[in-house]
Chains A and B, each alone.
Chain A
Amino acid sequence: MQNLSAKMLKKLEKTVFFANFTHNIFMLTIVVRAIIIYLVVLFLYRLMGKRQLGEMQPFELVLTLIIADLATIPMAEVSMPVLHGIIPLLTLVVLHYILTMLSKLSSNFSCFLSGKPVIVINPDGIDYKALKNLDITVDDVFEALRGCGYFKVEQVQYAVMETNGKMSVLSKSEYAPLTTGDMNIKTEKSVIPISIITEGKVNKENLKVAHMDEEKLANLLKKSGIQKVKDVLVMTIDKNGSVFFQKFGQKYQTLQVEPLGQVTE
């Protein structure tokens, strides 16, 4: 009986110590809040899509800026409930979804929300009226053209300012890069190499995509002079049977094997 009460007392002491300990760690609250908000923002961004900063439409950029600001407030402000940060974020994401849906349904609404592409250079030259409407200068157009690889305006047939602020350029045919199609040269279709081993690990999903099994992989490794999978930094194979592989700390090698079956792409 005495033992039991001593045990209970010890347990109680531990509980009290832990309770006091956690009460005093103010930083722990901030750490936990930061984790919660990070996970929420991560989930919300995944829900919104994968656009890069430069490819955003105006309303998406606004959303990103607001979210970044909103997320930081409740992280450090402990008197504020985390919900005060999360609720506006959820509201914005729901609103974003609704706006995206509406812009998909109505081209007029999409135009209102994101604007529409504007031709700034046509066969007659620079359209100054269009530049004025877009509030950009001729220097901005030159800069954007240089970014697209064109240093002379006379090389350009059309230049279009896209809704995300990027410029798309169609060059005059005499300045367009020569392609194999122009030369009537027949080439093999481009194929995507499938990575079957990365950093010493077999990617079983890609193995299936390449219509290979363990036995075929073992043969391939034998042909490549590889003894263990864990020695391989990377190994890829394409539909035409071109194998690329590199062992850890060694130079890469290529190998030609029999073409694969129908590769699922």
Chain B
Amino acid sequence: MTKWSWFKLVSVFVLFGVLVAVCIIEDRLVVSSLDEVNRYCYQIESAVEKNGGIVNGEVASLVDNLEYSWRENESKLCFLVNHKSVEELGVEIVRLKTYIDEEEPIEFYVSLDIIKHYVETYQHFMSANFHNIL
């Protein structure tokens, strides 16, 4: 085998490795990011139930934490995932804050449900399952 053939062989193996690595990294990153959002959503829900309303320090602080954590994860996700696919989540989180300020619990619950629904369905419409492949 010539030097060029070796170079090609090694390059193809490296490219294959890159493909596998990207797939694994994407999976880990998406799963961990969405799990974190989901966890915050349930914490917010239980905080609302515990305090009997959305206007309290604990809920506001949890929503702030959710926003901060999503901002951090979103910037990482943007390397691998289409911005448009994940921007909805960010928009709904901002709405949560607005609904707390305006004291609109029904809209707050709707937004929270949208976020939870998004997190649950994201895996379905983005993962490599039979429906998506075909």
Contact = CB atoms under 8 A, between A and B. Distances in A.
B78 interface: yes
Given A81-B78, A83-B22, 13 more contacts: A47-B11, A47-B12, A79-B82, A79-B84, A81-B80, A81-B81, A83-B79, A83-B80, A84-B82, A87-B19, A90-B18, A94-B12, A94-B19
Contacts of B80: 81, 83
> For chain B, what secondary structure do more than half of its interface residues adopt (helix, strand, loop), or is it mixed?
helix
B83 A79 contact: yes
B16 A81 contact: no
B8 interface: yes
A253 B46 CA distance: 93
> For chain A, what secondary structure do more than half of its interface residues adopt (helix, strand, loop), or is it mixed?
helix
Given A47-B8, A83-B22, A94 B16 contact: yes
Contacts of B8: 47, 97
Interface residues of B, number: 15
A90 B79 CA distance: 17
Interface in A66-94: 79-81, 83-84, 87, 90-91, 93-94
16 contacts: A47-B8, A79-B82, A79-B84, A80-B83, A81-B78, A81-B79, A81-B81, A83-B22, A83-B80, A84-B82, A87-B22, A90-B18, A91-B19, A93-B12, A94-B15, A94-B19
A70 to B, nearest CB: 15
